[in-house]
Structure 1
Amino acid sequence: MRQQRDEQGKSVRTLRVGEQMRHALAEVLSRGQLRDEVLERAIISVTEVRMSPDLRHATVFIQPLGASEQEAIEVIKAMKRNVRFLKTEAARRVNTKYAAELHFHLDETFDEASRIDAILRSPQVARDLGGKMGNPDDSDDN
C-alpha cells in the first residue's frame, strides 16, 4: 500500500499525527495541568509538531508569547523538565503504537518573518522599488 505524500514528501499520516499531537500538547498547556512555576506564568503556543516517519519522535516547536529571549529559554528548560508528563498526556490523547519522544525547540519563524518584514519596509528597499511597496489591498487586480 502506497502512502500519500504532500508537496514536501511527508506522508499524510505523519502530518495528521503531528497535528493531533500539537492539539493534545496545546490542550495540556492551556488547561494548566503542569505544576511548574515557569509554565504556569507563561502563555505558550504550540506552533508545529513534526513527526519522524516511524512516529517515534516528535519535534515540538513552541512560542512563548510576549516572552523575552531569556524567558523563552527558561520555558524550553521547563518543558524538558516536564517531558515525562507531557509525553504521557500526549500518548493518552493521540492513539499511536508508541508514545513519541518529545523534543522541544523555540519556533523562530515569527522572529524571522518580522526581521524580513522590517527589511522590506526599510527606506532603502522602498527607494530601490521606486515606491511600489504600497498597501497590499491597493492592488491593480480589479
Structure 2
Amino acid sequence: MARSPDPKGSGGLSQRQLRVGEQVRHALAQLLQRGEIRDDLIERTVISVSEVRMSPDLKIATCFIMPLGNVDPQSIVKALAANAKFIRGRMAPVLGQMKYMPEFRFRSDTSFDNFSKIDALLRSPEVARDLSHDHEDGEDKTSRKGDE
C-alpha cells in the first residue's frame, strides 16, 4: 500500500520514510497484539495496521488501521488517539534508534472498502454487457492503440 519513492522529489515518499514507516507499523502491530493498551474496546478488537506513513522529517506517523469484525472503525480511531501518548511511550524502547519519537496519528483505512466498490462495479451487469460487446466485435481496442 505504500507508495514508491519519486526520484524527482515531486512529493513521493523517500526510501527512509518507507523503511521507518514499516518499522513503526511492525512495532505498533506487536504492541496491539500483546494487548498492552488498557482500553476495553481496543482489548476486545483485533486491529490490523495496514500502513504507516511518516512525514518527511519523521516526526509524525500517520497509522492506517482497520478493525476486523463488526466494529465501527471511527470508534477504534478515537480510542487509539486517546491512547496516543501511551503508545508513543511504549514504542520508545522499540524504536530507540530514532532521533525523535514520532507523534502518532490514527486514520481508518478505507482501501479495502474502495476495493470492494471497484470489484462490485466490475461485476455489475452493465460492465459485463459492455465487455461482452467488445469481445463479440472481435476488436481489442487497447491493442489497436499500440499498433498505430
* TM-score w.r.t. length of structure 1: 0.83
Structure 1 segment 110-121 matched on structure 2, within 5 A: 110-121=112-123
For structure 1, list consecutive stretches of 5 or more residues without a partner in the other structure.
Answer: 134-142
1:51 corresponds in structure 2 to 54
1:81 corresponds in structure 2 to 82
Distance in 2 between residues matched to 1:39 and 1:92, nearest whole Å: 22
1:61 corresponds in structure 2 to 64
Once the two structures are superposed, what CA deviation does each residue of 1:25-64 show, in whole Å capped at 9, x if it has no partner?
0000001111100001111000000001110001100000
2:19 corresponds in structure 1 to 16
Answer yes or no: is the 8 Å Cα contact 1:126–1:132 preserved in 2.
no
* Cα separation, partners in 2 of 1:32 and 1:127, compared to 1, 3 Å: same
1:128 corresponds in structure 2 to 130
Opposite residue 87 of structure 1, the aligned amino acid is R
Two-structure CA RMSD over aligned residues (Å)? 1.8
1:38 corresponds in structure 2 to 41
Query: What is the DSSP-based 3-state SS (H/G/I as helix, E as strand, rest coil) of the residue aligned with 1:16?
Result: helix
Query: What is the DSSP-based 3-state SS (H/G/I as helix, E as strand, rest coil) of the residue aligned with 1:93?
Result: coil
Distance in 1 between residues matched to 2:127 and 2:109, nearest whole Å: 27
C-alpha displacement of 1:132? 7.8
Distance in 2 between residues matched to 1:116 and 1:97, nearest whole Å: 41
Query: What is the DSSP-based 3-state SS (H/G/I as helix, E as strand, rest coil) of the residue aligned with 1:34?
Result: coil
Query: What is the DSSP-based 3-state SS (H/G/I as helix, E as strand, rest coil) of the residue aligned with 2:58?
Result: coil
* Cα separation, partners in 2 of 1:49 and 1:132, compared to 1, 3 Å: farther
Answer yes or no: is the 8 Å Cα contact 1:91–1:100 preserved in 2.
no
1:27 corresponds in structure 2 to 30
Opposite residue 30 of structure 1, the aligned amino acid is Q
C-alpha displacement of 1:88? 1.4
Runs of 4+ in 1 over 2 A off after TM superposition: 5-9
For structure 2, list consecutive stretches of 5 or more residues without a partner in the other structure.
Answer: 136-148
Distance in 1 between residues matched to 2:130 and 2:123, nearest whole Å: 11
1:101 corresponds in structure 2 to 103
C-alpha displacement of 1:91? 2.4
